[in-house]
Structure 1
């Protein structure tokens, strides 16, 4: 009887241990949108290291789209590789950093070959006219509006991170 109880205890403990590992050990790489200054996952987009994505917003003065192109690096940092906009002026660079090139094509200014690396991006969704968008995919064919996932004026931190099954279940998966 004693051995049966010990066996059940060990089996129960092992099952609980395996369940805990399955639920709480991070395994899935994602572009994660955390509520500002917290570890609360608001939303996530499953990605792989090396994937690229765009954040597009409407410039508040020029009222034209600004496209920021990023790449998820293996160390989970985020590299800005390109910036596209239509007008020089307030908030827009007039030259490229070292190694970058400025090209004028299709009526837009492209700063290419950028090498700006960030551990995270702090972002605020537009409050009055929320026009932020997230675009991803091999050919940038997938797009969602931030307003469909976040309140107008919401602040959040974007990171490339590994999420556990528990975090995946609690967060909102971004999809078209």
Structure 2
């Protein structure tokens, strides 16, 4: 009887260790045979932003997203002040472009992504991930010059222990 209980206990511990329970924003290094995983634990707040300085205009761009129940990512809007190189000056199908007080807001009706790749450029411009009241400076937290697959997924205790938790401020 003790042997069966011990076996059951070990089985449950192993299951707890390897079954994904915790939902997180994950940044997985790409183009690497042994990719590193960085994560931010996800709580009840579903909205987040990525704020970066456009490398040509040198103005801030604010991308707003929402996490769906399916763990997909919905691009809600993008705000910027210049429409020259790399920034849209008109709305395409499924988009609405507004201009108010010198700021363009491009709203997306149904832009749903399973994930996307984020390149951490080796330039001294802003790249922040904002979630809740926390700011994560991705230029400090991740490796410059590397690309990361960004997605929302469940992590096991093993993956959390093996990965790097981003702390932010």
TM-score by length of 2: 0.89
> How far has the Cα of 1:99 moved from its partner?
3.9
SS in 2 for 1:115: strand
Look up the match of 1:20: 14
Please list the CA deviations of residues 23-69 of structure 1 after superposition, one character each: whole Å capped at 9, or x if unmatched. 11001111111111568452111124770111111111101111111
Cα RMSD for the two superposed structures = 2.0
Q: Is the deviation greater in 116-125 or in 92-101?
A: 92-101
Map 1:121-160; keep pairs closer than 5 Å. Answer: 121-137=116-132, 141-160=133-152
Q: Distance between the aligned counterparts of 1:142 and 1:97, measured in 2?
A: 33
> Comparing 142-151 with 156-165, which one deviates more in the overlay?
142-151
Whole-angstrom CA distance in 2 between matches of 1:89 and 1:40 = 36
Report the Cα offset of residue 149 of structure 1.
1.1
Unaligned stretches of 5+ in structure 2?
A: none
SS at structure 1 position matched to 2:144: coil
Aligned residues: 167
Q: Which has the larger radius of gyration?
A: 1
4+ long deviations beyond 3 Å: 37-41
> Any unmatched runs of 5+ in structure 1?
1-6
Is the contact made by 1:97 and 1:114 (CA closer than 8 Å) also made in structure 2?
no
Describe how 1:49-128 pairs up with structure 2 within 5 A: 51-128=46-123
Q: Indicate if the aligned counterparts of 1:49 and 1:74 stay in contact, CA closer than 8 A.
A: no
Asked if the contact 1:126–1:132 (Cα under 8 Å) also holds between the matched residues in 2, the reply is: no
| Contact 2:55-2:125 at 8 Å conserved across structures | no
